[in-house]
């Protein structure tokens, strides 16, 4: 009887693992100077419809890093709304260098990626992140 109970418990655990919903992880690729508000709306809609348990990362590269400057009040307000929606924003270090943007010029709360933005996108997709181009 003890063996049967133990076997049933093991089967229940295994079946629950098979049907467990994997954590949803999303990476939003942002490199367009004219779509910052679209990025903000996308993050807000994902949060609203999929909940707080969704991991959202934003990878910014290309000329879009120019929108991440703290002296731009409109961009700062939009970026702060994105950050308030619990989205992580990483900036390509190559794009910062190519656009002559220094770390001290950035909006608070942003982070500089340790590698190229495209390499980061590749690694995140390999790690199971759903890729969305903004």
31 Cβ contact partners less than 8 Å away, ≥ 6 residues apart: 60, 61, 62, 63, 64, 95, 117
The count of other CB atoms within 10 Å of the CB of residue 40 is 19
pLDDT at 26: 98
pLDDT at 16: 57
* pTM for the whole structure: 0.84
CATH 3.40.1260.10 fits 24-133, yes or no: yes
pLDDT at 23: 85
> Average pLDDT for consecutive 10-residue bins of the chain (134 residues)?
65 57 89 97 96 95 98 97 98 97 98 97 98 98
* Interatomic CA distance for residues 60 and 67, integer angstroms: 10
């Amino acid at each position: 009887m003890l063996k049967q109970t133990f076997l049933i418990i093991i089967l229940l655990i295994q079946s629950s693992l098979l049907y467990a919903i994997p954590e949803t992880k999303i990476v939003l690729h942002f490199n367009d100077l004219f779509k910052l508000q679209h990025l903000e709306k996308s993050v807000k809609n994902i949060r609203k419809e999929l909940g707080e348990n969704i991991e959202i990362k934003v990878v910014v590269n290309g000329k879009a890093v120019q929108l991440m400057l703290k002296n731009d009040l409109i961009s700062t307000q939009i970026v702060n709304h994105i950050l308030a929606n619990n989205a992580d924003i990483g900036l390509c270090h190559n794009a910062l260098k190519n656009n002559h943007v220094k770390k001290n010029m950035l909006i608070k709360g942003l982070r500089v990626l340790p590698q190229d933005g495209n390499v980061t996108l590749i690694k995140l997709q390999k790690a199971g992140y759903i890729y969305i181009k903004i």
